Structure 1
Amino acid sequence: MKLALCTDVLADLPFPEMLDKVKNYGISGVEMTAGGWSPCPHVKTEELLASADKLARFRAELHQRDIEIVALNCSGNPLAPGVLGEKHTRSSYQAIELAGKLGVKKIVMMSGLPGGGPEDKVPNWITSTVSWPDYMPGVIDYQWNEVAIPWWKTFVAHAKQHGIEKIAIEEFPSQLVYNPATLLRLRNAVGDMIGMNLDPSHLIAMGADPIAAVRKLEGAIYHVHGKDARIERGLADIDGLMEYQPVTATKSRTWNYVAVGCGQDLQWWKEFFSVLRMTGYDGYVSLEMEDLTMSVEAGLQTSIDALNMTMSR
């Protein structure tokens, strides 16, 4: 396994300076956002698609530092009703086209989440039993069979035309794919270009065991995020893990994203990577640093040190 960095954490640095910073950390792989929710601080997708000269200069900056784009990230909600879905669909298709021009073979995305029916104006995440109320089964059927599966079949065909080999979907809360079972449902319906970007922090925050998930997903893990979460003792015990407070309210939330090793200990991370390697994954691990309890520099260095001590190489 090799360590990469999700570069949005260095959004305040211009592209060349960001790449220099990455090299200073001893990292030679980057995952950069090219669409979706992110402001895409380092990848101006439309500009790069429109200008062969800008694209060549962009590639030259990477080449002269011997840095590889391990994946372009386009995490958003292309299945959302209305303007948002249209915007994220457009940026997803453009990210695919840019990846093709750059020779990048892997895209990291989220599945998207539709409304609960054709008239809904906002996405609707169903997490309770479909046994009651009795309208729930119809919502699930609409979201999967009328929206998600047709969209993804068309999108996968587009990706194949541009030389993409893998689409790694992050199992994120408030998305249609949020755990191994839902990932496998989409994969079985659409094909094996679809796999998972396994981000252990999300499974931890939903009360699941990422190590058990690795075994379940053998052969279907296409990318991994190095990201940790901590269940906050004395708070989660009372209110559980269904948490809607803003991520900035770290002191009162029942769980938080934290630097690697500040949630699960290093022995846990060693087992996680060992099982990943045992089940066939030997690709990049992209550090995604979103710990708001410490400085960016401290969070990055803490996470890099922890990952370098635990990754199976």
Structure 2
Amino acid sequence: MKLSICTDSMGNLSYTDMLDRCVELGLEGVEMTGGGWSPAPHVPTEELLADKGKLKAFAKELEARGLEIAALNVSGNPLDPGALGEKHRKDTDMTIRLAGELGVKKIVMMSGLPPAAPGDSIPNWITYTVSWPPTLQDALNYQWNDVAIPYWEQLVKLSDEVGVDKFALENFSSMLVWNPETLFRLRDAVGPKVGLNLDPSHLFWKGADPIASARALGPAIHHLHGKDARIERGLADVNGLLETKVVEDTVNRAWNYVAVGAGHDLQWWKEFFSVCRMMGYNDWVSLEMEDLTMSVEAGIEGSVAALQQTISR
């Protein structure tokens, strides 16, 4: 396994300064965003696609530092029915095409989440039993069969055209694909190019065991995010793990995203990476630093140190 970082956490740095900092940290690669919810601080996707000279200069800066692009990331909701979805679909297409130009084989993104019925304006994450009311069964069928699967069939076709080999879908909340079971539903429909970006942090607060998930996924693990979460004592015990407070309200939340090692100890992380390697995954691990309980720099340095000690080389 090789260690990279999701570079949005260093969005205050210029492209070249960010690359220099990655070298200082001992990283081997970068996972950079090309759009979606991110402002894409380091990847001017449209400019690079339009100008071969800029594209060549962009790649040269990486080569000069011995860094690789672990993946291009375009996380967002391309299935949103409004202007947001239109933008995210455009960003997704451009990022896939840019990956083809750069020779990057992996796209990290999210499955998207549609509304529950034609004409609805708000995406609907159905996580309650569809027995009550039974109309939820029709809503899920609409989301999957009428919206998501046709869209993903088109994305797989585009990836074939430009030479992208893998989609790694993050098991994020408020997405149609949010755990291994939902990943396999999409994968079975559109093919093995679609796999999971196995991010333990989201599975922790959903009550799942990421190590068991890794065993179940096997070759469907397409990417790993090094990201931890902590269930907050005394709060989750009272209110459970469903949490609607903003992420900045760390002191009152039942769970928080934290630096690697601040939620689960290094023994846990060693076992996690060992099992992922045992199941056949021997590729990039990208640090995603979203800990709001400490400074960004402290979170990055602590997480890099923890991951360097635990990934399976």
Aligned-pair CA distance for 1:134: 2.0
Residue 156 of structure 2 corresponds to 156
Residue 274 of structure 1 corresponds to 274
Residue 137 of structure 1 corresponds to 137
| RMSD of equivalent CA atoms | 0.6
**Structure 1 CA distance, aligned partners of 2:280 and 2:85?**
35
Question: Counterparts of 1:27-38 in structure 2 under 5 Å?
Answer: 27-38=27-38
Residue 123 of structure 2 corresponds to 123
Listed one character per residue, the Cα deviations across residues 226-267 of structure 1 (whole Å, up to 9, x for unaligned) are 000000010000111110111000000000000000001111
**Structure 2 CA distance, aligned partners of 1:299 and 1:276?**
24
AA of the residue aligned to 1:310:
T
TM-score normalised over the length of structure 1 = 0.99
Listed one character per residue, the Cα deviations across residues 15-72 of structure 1 (whole Å, up to 9, x for unaligned) are 0000000000011200000011100000000011111111111111111111100100
TM-score normalised over the length of structure 2 = 0.99
**Structure 1 CA distance, aligned partners of 2:188 and 2:116?**
22
Residue 208 of structure 2 corresponds to 208
**Structure 2 CA distance, aligned partners of 1:264 and 1:28?**
24
Residue 7 of structure 2 corresponds to 7
Aligned-pair CA distance for 1:168: 0.5
Question: Counterparts of 1:75-154 in structure 2 under 5 Å?
Answer: 75-154=75-154
How high is the sequence identity, in percent, across the aligned residues?
Answer: 61
Q: Name the SS of the counterpart of 2:218 in structure 1.
A: coil
AA of the residue aligned to 2:4:
A
Residue 223 of structure 2 corresponds to 223
Residue 20 of structure 2 corresponds to 20
Aligned-pair CA distance for 1:135: 1.3
Q: Name the SS of the counterpart of 2:26 in structure 1.
A: coil
**Structure 1 CA distance, aligned partners of 2:214 and 2:52?**
41
Any runs of at least 4 consecutive aligned residues in structure 1 with deviations exceeding 2 A, and if so which? Answer: none
Residue 235 of structure 1 corresponds to 235
Aligned-pair CA distance for 1:194: 0.3
Q: Which runs of 5+ in 2 are unaligned?
A: none
Residue 51 of structure 2 corresponds to 51
In the comparison of the two structures, how many residue pairs are matched? 313
**Structure 1 CA distance, aligned partners of 2:249 and 2:276?**
33
Q: Name the SS of the counterpart of 1:176 in structure 2.
A: coil
Residue 310 of structure 1 corresponds to 310
Residue 263 of structure 1 corresponds to 263
Aligned-pair CA distance for 1:129: 0.3
**Structure 1 CA distance, aligned partners of 2:31 and 2:161?**
22
Q: Name the SS of the counterpart of 2:57 in structure 1.
A: helix
Aligned-pair CA distance for 1:272: 0.4
Q: Name the SS of the counterpart of 1:91 in structure 2.
A: helix
**Structure 1 CA distance, aligned partners of 2:225 and 2:50?**
31
**Structure 1 CA distance, aligned partners of 2:153 and 2:169?**
14
Q: Which runs of 5+ in 1 are unaligned?
A: none
**Structure 1 CA distance, aligned partners of 2:125 and 2:267?**
34
